[in-house]
Amino acid sequence: MTPQTHEIKTYRLEGQAIELLSSPDVWSPYSAKEMISFLTDFGYLESIAGSRVLDLGTGSGIIGIFAGKLGAKEVVLTDYCPSAVRLAVENAEHNGIIAHGIQSDRFKALKGQKFDFIISNPPVQPWLFTDLEHPESRQDSATWNEAGSDGRLVLDSLIAQSKYYLNKGGTFIASCSTRHGHKRTEALLQDYWEGAWQQIYASEHAIDLSYHRPYLPIWLKLQSKDHDLRVYQKDAQGRVFASQTTPDGKKMLIMNWENDKITYKFILEDNVWTAYNTLQHALFEISAHDSRLPTHDTEAAWYYQYILVRGTKN
């Protein structure tokens, strides 16, 4: 079945004009633009000409098509969403790029393949409306962007498995986000890519509540457990914190205290904030009026960091 395409848009990326058809069940190419611009501007794609490239979770195909425009010898576009694969291949052809489309849940249909570059802008949302076992419940790009109870399903697989699909000297580049839980991402990178990975980029984005509001409670719940701020607010002095409530309705703040590297959870009771560690041990107390506490006088916007990481197979 041909995906129901709507309109064709031109994306001007680093001197390349790429024309892409859109479809309601395929991720819009906008979030890839920042990644592509940074990677190009800072020379991370300089050696892509002549290489074999995998764009995993390809959506519209934008990353793989851009790689093709830069002269990649072979481009493989994969996505778990069948209409994304069809659309991505159609988009590649429309832009004069010969690409091979493979429907695959993460690396499952790619056994034995080797690439010089694996580039991915993986999904981030936790399961809310669907789950992996029931792809039929995925009807639109939002549900296709759900990735496990913590949103990490595809990212974890990229970190753990890319090495097996890379040629020696090959590179994996993935976008990730504090919404994935970045301490966990760093720990996994350290485990699987020890000494051979770097964080190459980070930028702050505001959470688009018109789209992400349903996922906010899950991110807040996850961070109240592991104190790894997926989403945060900022006060007028730029202090970063998350103002939440406990399941029994008490005020909760998750933040670093002064310049401490540790993120504590503070719970307010009888005008006293008690700081807890992740083991739920009470560590110290501060007054509710302490001027070092963040002020809530700014807009109630939520933010996250968008991050790019890169690993090289030695």
DSSP secondary structure letters along 224-258: HHH---SSBEE-TT--EEEEEE-TTS-EEEEEE-T
Measured from the CB atom, is 60 or 185 closer to ligand SAM? 60
Question: Residue 76 is which amino acid?
Answer: V
Measured from the CB atom, is 64 or 294 closer to ligand SAM? 64
Question: Applying CB under 6 A, which of residues 20, 21, 65, 81 lies at the interface with ligand SAM?
Answer: 81
Question: Applying CB under 6 A, which of residues 147, 174, 255, 308 lies at the interface with ligand SAM?
Answer: 147
Binding region for ligand SAM (CB under 6 A) out of 79-87, 93-101, 239-247, 294-302? 79-87
Residue 54, beta-bridge partner list: 76, 118
Residue 19, beta-bridge partner list: 10
CB of 9 to ligand SAM, least distance (A): 12
CB of 184 to ligand SAM, least distance (A): 18
Question: Applying CB under 6 A, which of residues 67, 89, 118, 154 lies at the interface with ligand SAM?
Answer: 154
Q: Residue 124 corresponds to which tokens in the numbers above?
A: 């981030």
Spatial distance between the Cα atoms of 283 and 277, rounded to a whole number of angstroms: 7
152 contributes a contact to ligand SAM by CB under 6 A: no
CB of 14 to ligand SAM, least distance (A): 15
Instruction: Identify the CA nearest to 231 among candidates 251, 249, 252, 206.
Output: 206
Spatial distance between the Cα atoms of 23 and 103, rounded to a whole number of angstroms: 17
Spatial distance between the Cα atoms of 245 and 216, rounded to a whole number of angstroms: 13
CB of 162 to ligand SAM, least distance (A): 13
Binding region for ligand SAM (CB under 6 A) out of 121-129, 190-198, 269-277, 278-286? 121-129
Q: Binding marks (x or -) toward ligand SAM, 17..56, rule CB under 6 A?
A: ----------x-x-xx------------------------
Spatial distance between the Cα atoms of 234 and 294, rounded to a whole number of angstroms: 8
Residue with tokens 């974890």: 156
Residue with tokens 């052809």: 93
**Residues near ligand SAM, by CB under 6 A:** 27, 29, 31-32, 57-60, 62-63, 79-81, 84, 105-106, 121-123, 144-145, 147, 153-154
